[in-house]
Structure 1
Amino acid sequence: MLKEACDGVIVGSAIVRRLCEAESKPKDEVIQEVGITEQTFQAKLGVPDTDLIDYLTGLLMRFVRSDMVFKVRSLTGRPLTEVADMLIEAEARIGEAKRSVHHHVGDFLLFWSGVYPESLARMQKADRKDHLLNYWVVGKQAYSKASELSAEEHSESEAELLSKLSHEFELCAYGLGEVRREWERRDQQGDSPQIIVM
């Protein structure tokens, strides 16, 4: 079931390996999650916002699967891998579809900026459409636009969360990087139990 996800674009990472291992076990066999995301944001960074922390944990879980990382598709069904193409697609859509693409662009850029910042240089090579994009600015703008569109059609709490992600983009990216460093530290020390991050 998760074979495709575990063979996706982010294979080799301790994060993906650990999540794939935990996801492949029946729920009653999964060892209690150790709360690395919560510990990082609350204890290390002093961020007590449980809604934000829960959202970021869910983001890590969703993006284990490469089909979720590249879920925005063109009208012909081709997965869009460059942010510039995703933004063009967002502007071609209306209503919920437009909001969804902007939301995904924010998630996509937050994930890569936080968990895999070393990939950004490759994603912005001179021969790519994203070459001149400032991913941090675009990520913040995407969440802001999704928040505005959510306020029109969705719950106020969703709009508030997306607005918070826009305003706290840098902090969230830094925190996700700290989560990755903690996973890597535990792997190096060999003191990491099998976990599922929730």
Structure 2
Amino acid sequence: MLRRDLSLQELFGELVERAFALSLRWDDRQVMGYLTNLLTEFAHIDSLYRLRDVNGRPLQEVAEMLYYADVRLGAQSFYQEREVHRHIGDFTLFWAGVYPEALPRLRATLRKDALIDYVQQGKQSYRLVSLFDIGEWREEAPMFRRLSDNFEVAMQGLYAVRQMWEQQARESFTRFRRQIEGF
């Protein structure tokens, strides 16, 4: 049972720790902290679609994001290339891990992402981010390599987090219902 006064960040932190350290036995504090922040950030839909094209339109498909992740195409700098690939890794991990049932819709025939394998692209994007191992990125570069190498494990963990928060919601609703019905 979780405390009732947890902030969203604290809630996700506890659920991530349960899923990753206790259930999956992947006790990587740096990865768990990163994924906690990812879930907290993506709780706001604007963050999930924070990348914009040159006209200010949100990029909603990985295929569009890839254009802005390549300095030979739409990326204005190597910094932008890294940040867009980081977002692609986060975006694909979020959908493939937390809401895998949405993937068929995201990859529907008439969409630009129809031929994008979210798992492979997420792994590749995190791998590219890990290659930026200089300056301010030196400390976190190995973490992105671990996320790339263990992408499927991270997916499992995030799905377990979702199952736990849904279970908590059901239990809370049941308690509430019993109180108002006088059980």
Band of TM-score, shorter chain: 0.7 to 0.9
2:33 to 31, 45, 54: 54
Q: What is residue 99 of structure 1 aligned with on the other side?
A: 82
Q: What SS does the aligned partner of 1:154 have?
A: helix
Q: What SS does the aligned partner of 1:151 have?
A: coil
Gaps of 5+ in 2: 176-183
Contact 1:124 1:132 in 2 (8 A): yes
Q: What is residue 117 of structure 2 aligned with on the other side?
A: 134
- Residue 160 of structure 1 aligns with an amino acid whose one-letter code is P
> In the superposition, relative to structure 1, how do residues 192 and 78 fare at CA in structure 2: closer, same or farther (>3 Å)?
farther
1:165 to 147, 160, 174: 147
Q: Deviations over 1:25-63 (max 9, x none)?
A: xxxxx9x64711111111111111111111110100010
1:113 aligns with 2:124: no
How is 1:1-198 mapped onto 2 (pairs within 5 angstroms)?
22=7, 33=11, 35-91=14-70, 92-93=74-75, 94-148=77-131, 150-190=132-172
Instruction: Indicate the percent of aligned positions where both proteins have the same amino acid.
Output: 37
- Residue 141 of structure 2 aligns with an amino acid whose one-letter code is A
Contact 1:102 1:142 in 2 (8 A): yes
Shift in Å, 1:22: 4.2
Report how many aligned residue pairs link the two structures: 166
TM-score normalised by L of structure 2: 0.83
More contact order relative to length (CA 8 Å, sep ≥ 6): 1
C-alpha RMSD over aligned residues: 2.3
Q: What SS does the aligned partner of 1:137 have?
A: helix
> In the superposition, relative to structure 1, how do residues 130 and 79 fare at CA in structure 2: closer, same or farther (>3 Å)?
same
Gaps of 5+ in 1: 1-17, 24-29, 194-198
> In the superposition, relative to structure 1, how do residues 192 and 173 fare at CA in structure 2: closer, same or farther (>3 Å)?
farther
- Residue 132 of structure 1 aligns with an amino acid whose one-letter code is L
- Residue 158 of structure 1 aligns with an amino acid whose one-letter code is E
Shift in Å, 1:181: 0.4
